[in-house]
Structure 1
Amino acid sequence: MMQTDYVVVGAGAAGMAITDALLTHTDATVTMVDRRHAPGGHWIDTYPYVRLHQPSAFYGVDSTALGQNTIDTTGLNAGFYERASADEIRSYYGQVMQHRFLASGRVRYFPNCEYLNDQRVGSRVSGAIWELRAARKVIDTTYLEGDIPATSPPPFEVADGVRCVPAGAITHLQERPETFVVIGGGKTALDACVWLLEQGVAPEAIRWVKPRESWWINRKYVQPATLLPDLYRGHALHLEATAQATSVRDLFARLEAKRFMLRVDTEVEPSMYRGAFISETELDLVRTIKNVVRLGHVRRIDQHTITLDQGQVPTSARSLHIHCAARALPRPELRPMFEPDRITVQPFMRGLACFQFAMVGVAEALLNTDDEKNRVLPPINYWDSTRDSLTSLLAGVAHAKARADYPALAAWANTSRLNPMGDLGPYRDHPDVLEARALIQHHSAAAYGNMSRLIAM
């Protein structure tokens, strides 16, 4: 039987960030088991035109920077820091695995394999079985793994003869359709619309079927380095609005008035909040699509009819239906993150995925007991609604307060490249930072006090 200190199940963003933290902060050995053929998780399967919706500077593993930290000068992201493409992210994780993990001599990697939960690893290719014992813990990064359109069937019926493809398939069409029907209201659907428009498809040739309208965070307020004052100002605007809001609906109206929150259609009130970012340039582009269907979820597509929750709309054999409507992130019963022989990775604050994942590994390394770790990192569900945005934000406030009781963990968080607020020092005297600091000092107490009241309404 093979021996290892930790078994990490999954080599996506979570597994990679946690393993990197364990290598930095312990002398432990790690064995990574992943069903995909290469590290990167869903980035291995995703659509080819996808990019990070946040700057590259905040993504990846803590020890190794992603990208060149440059500001884009062309395209829809002009004026903002670079956002890595899927190819860049796959290459990045491959380099981290080869030159950081495997080169350390402390990591073993089993791609194309399943962890069988009984101290065995099975190859999906050869059928070989290995016995593997974790001396410390099994770290499960798959508990909240969601579906993506590239690897899951549409969540609706598709009749024979209907052209229906996942988002990635539109990059290699053999026959141009008369109409592109984009199905979904989240980031994948928005990306598909943007890509089609950038390829010169007329807005009139796109029909966007949205089960729900979404709020988006203005990418201006999530920028690193020289644009970090804007991020700090965005934090201040959010606190000010939270302190003054009389309801969740009023909160989002205030944030929209400050251009912190954005929506595609100002005539339709969003009910969905996933925490994704968009630039105002992208927003202006997708607003050119006027043929929008809002009749709930698609139930079935026939050759001439799309059936939805609240009605039907016509379609045709000459239309291409683009499936962007996977189940996304699940919401199973929460369980303690840290147990004697197991870590079950779950979010514990809003956003900042890789920062959270890395902190799981750092907490495991630096804190003494599972009780301490669970006190600092109590799990929450992924956010989906406008009310969820507040519950997840409040969880982040509680986490920050608990983290402050552990100086080593707090010191790491304050210097991690994955923490957007970690590099504010050089800009502390910037006029925007000074103004934002005054707003934060004035509104923090009222904002934190108002959060629970708004959630309960």
Structure 2
Amino acid sequence: MSDETLETDYLVVGAGAAGMAFADALLTHSDATVTLVDRRHAPGGHWIDAYPYVRLHQPSAFYGVSSVPLGRDIVDTAGTNAGYYELAGADEIRAYFAHVMHDRFLPGGRVRYFPSSEYLGDDRFVSRFGQRSWKVRVRRKIVDTTYLEGAVPATSAPPFEVADGVCCVPAGDIARITQRPERFVVIGAGKTALDTCVWLLEQNVSPSSIRWIKPREAWWMNRRFQQPLAQLPGSYRGMAIQLEAMAQATSIEDLFARLEAEEVFLRVDRGVAPSMFRGAVISEGELERLRKIEDVVRLGHVRRIERDEIVLDGGSIPTSEASVHIHCSARGLARRPLRPIFEAGRVTVQPFLWGFVCYQFAMLGVIEALVASDEDKNRLCAPIAYWDENADYLSAFLSTLAHERARLAWPALAGWAKETRLNPFGAIGHYRDAPDVIDARERIKHHAATAAGNLARLLTTNARQAQQAPLRSEE
């Protein structure tokens, strides 16, 4: 099998949200040609593998590529998202990315797309099903969107042993079970586990029939403060609340306590201190339902499931063959060593500011197209690790403040940020005279600089305490 040769300006590895948002920005702001390679059979990344009842946890208005709207900008009137702007589900998102590819990207003649193809490195990829391979001459850069690719339960084996005869399924499979089990055992503490618990309750499963095994307790962001369009002034007020709390907090614990008191942050169990923060968003309606589940196990991670017991880090609990165990415990997003996002011949997609991933992935494409030197690009976009622990919220937010200051020196970037629908606060100028916006704007001006300094201090104190903790434990 000999390689076919092709040429392109950019070779984008991965046709998920990151690759599509980046490519869309290149097409809009440059004359570049783009080749997209993805091992999946259709565009959409992890959404191709997603469980059937998953929805975005942020409004549809903020997701996807900048040039093509997602959703109808309507407010839900029923369910746990009632009163807030719509959240696209898996089917809608898969259809959306297919539409972007086939109606926006391919007709212009500047994009070539190779689904079901494996990138091998060294500018080479092969078909996963056919006897074909390609060697690419990349004139500008390879764009790697897979560097921090996560693992999801649908495509990952459980991180624990499962004995023969035990019913253990990934989250998506419970929608297809044919017999009613005695009990549902949900394993995991992240967004998949939360969605699974909410979905079971929506299917009229009694809370007493659900056991929730949570290795950690998580903080969640209140969807009330993540809204676009007519509800954007309330979201802007949420930003003011965060900056004021950051300016006044005396510790990381105090910061989270202040934000919980303002209902910006939520937790399911008020009696357990959360140690996990991944930036996921829930509604108060979902929270109300989740609090009905009383059988919560906090004995660390599951090590193995036997026919009659579940063995965890901190002990064992009984189970039975009549229970279905739902695996929601993949490792999630990777936390590999950071590297410069922009290098000679390469873009390694990584987060560089807090929240809203499509906004920042699209911004990377805009920066690649409009800023000449990699040195300047990297000054604008210093990478950060994906958030996992409470302190990561502070470091990510601090990076966001630094990025906002740096971007002011680039009018083209600032102009794009004001116009793109992906920027959660890009349209705030339309509401400049609203009382909530006037008040929030003054609070932000008053507290922003102090917040940045205090965040840096709190992070330094936290790092020092972490270094000293082993010493104290040895004394």
Q: What residue is the counterpart of 2:130 in the other structure?
A: 126
Q: What residue is the counterpart of 1:422 in the other structure?
A: 426
Establish whether residue 237 from structure 1 lines up as the match of residue 241 from structure 2. Answer: yes
Q: For residues 304 and 155 of structure 1, what CA distance do their matches in structure 2 show? A: 19
Q: What residue is the counterpart of 2:80 in the other structure?
A: 76
Identify which range, 266-275 or 401-410, moves more after superposition: 401-410
1:429 is paired with a residue whose SS is coil
Q: For residues 382 and 88 of structure 2, what CA distance do their matches in structure 1 show? A: 31
2:310 is paired with a residue whose SS is strand
Establish whether residue 291 from structure 1 lines up as the match of residue 295 from structure 2. Answer: yes
> Offset at 1:439?
1.6
Identify which range, 89-98 or 420-429, moves more after superposition: 420-429
- Counterpart of 2:451, as a letter, is A
- Counterpart of 1:393, as a letter, is F
Q: For residues 65 and 160 of structure 1, what CA distance do their matches in structure 2 show? A: 47
> Offset at 1:402?
1.1
- Counterpart of 2:440, as a letter, is A
1:51 is paired with a residue whose SS is coil
CA RMSD of aligned residues (A): 0.7
2:256 is paired with a residue whose SS is helix
Q: What residue is the counterpart of 1:109 in the other structure?
A: 113
Matches within 5 A, 1:103-252: 103-252=107-256
Q: For residues 406 and 397 of structure 1, what CA distance do their matches in structure 2 show? A: 15
Q: What residue is the counterpart of 1:92 in the other structure?
A: 96
TM-score by length of structure 1 reads 0.99
- Counterpart of 1:208, as a letter, is W
Deviations 1:143-198 (A, max 9, x none): 00010000000011111110000000010111111000000000000000000000
1:420 is paired with a residue whose SS is coil
Q: For residues 435 and 139 of structure 1, what CA distance do their matches in structure 2 show? A: 42
Q: What residue is the counterpart of 2:40 in the other structure?
A: 36
Instruction: Identify the match of residue 444 of structure 1 among 430, 445, 448.
Output: 448
Establish whether residue 348 from structure 1 lines up as the match of residue 348 from structure 2. Answer: no
> Offset at 1:313?
0.6
Instruction: Identify the match of residue 411 of structure 2 among 407, 412, 437.
Output: 407
Deviations 1:243-302 (A, max 9, x none): 111000000000000000000000000000000111101100010000000011111100
Deviations 1:99-154 (A, max 9, x none): 10001110000000011112221000113111211110000000000100000000
TM-score by length of structure 2 reads 0.95
Q: What residue is the counterpart of 1:57 in the other structure?
A: 61
Q: What residue is the counterpart of 2:310 in the other structure?
A: 306
Q: For residues 438 and 381 of structure 1, what CA distance do their matches in structure 2 show? A: 31
1:332 is paired with a residue whose SS is coil
The list of structure 1 runs, each at least 4 consecutive aligned residues, that deviate by more than 3 angstroms after superposition, is none
Q: For residues 40 and 83 of structure 2, what CA distance do their matches in structure 1 show? A: 36
Matches within 5 A, 1:268-279: 268-279=272-283
Q: For residues 52 and 16 of structure 1, what CA distance do their matches in structure 2 show? A: 17
Q: For residues 184 and 405 of structure 1, what CA distance do their matches in structure 2 show? A: 44
Identify which range, 129-138 or 101-110, moves more after superposition: 129-138
- Counterpart of 1:112, as a letter, is S
Length, aligned pairs only: 457
> Offset at 1:435?
1.6
- Counterpart of 2:289, as a letter, is L
- Counterpart of 1:75, as a letter, is G
Establish whether residue 360 from structure 1 lines up as the match of residue 401 from structure 2. Answer: no
Q: What residue is the counterpart of 1:2 in the other structure?
A: 6
Instruction: Give % identity.
Output: 63
- Counterpart of 1:164, as a letter, is C
> Offset at 1:445?
2.0
Q: For residues 440 and 356 of structure 1, what CA distance do their matches in structure 2 show? A: 22
> Offset at 1:410?
1.3
Q: For residues 197 and 309 of structure 1, what CA distance do their matches in structure 2 show? A: 28
Q: What residue is the counterpart of 1:22 in the other structure?
A: 26
Q: For residues 267 and 333 of structure 1, what CA distance do their matches in structure 2 show? A: 35
Deviations 1:45-70 (A, max 9, x none): 01000000000000000000000001
2:307 is paired with a residue whose SS is coil
Deviations 1:26-55 (A, max 9, x none): 111000000000000000001000000000
> Offset at 1:441?
2.2
Q: For residues 436 and 428 of structure 1, what CA distance do their matches in structure 2 show? A: 10
Deviations 1:326-369 (A, max 9, x none): 01011111111011111000000111100000011000000010
Q: For residues 437 and 106 of structure 1, what CA distance do their matches in structure 2 show? A: 42
Q: What residue is the counterpart of 1:13 in the other structure?
A: 17
Gaps of at least 5 residues in structure 1 are none
Gaps of at least 5 residues in structure 2 are 462-475
2:398 is paired with a residue whose SS is helix
Establish whether residue 333 from structure 1 lines up as the match of residue 370 from structure 2. Answer: no
- Counterpart of 2:341, as a letter, is M
Instruction: Identify the match of residue 458 of structure 2 among 442, 451, 454.
Output: 454
1:7 is paired with a residue whose SS is strand
2:198 is paired with a residue whose SS is helix
- Counterpart of 1:40, as a letter, is G
> Offset at 1:405?
1.2
Q: For residues 443 and 118 of structure 1, what CA distance do their matches in structure 2 show? A: 49
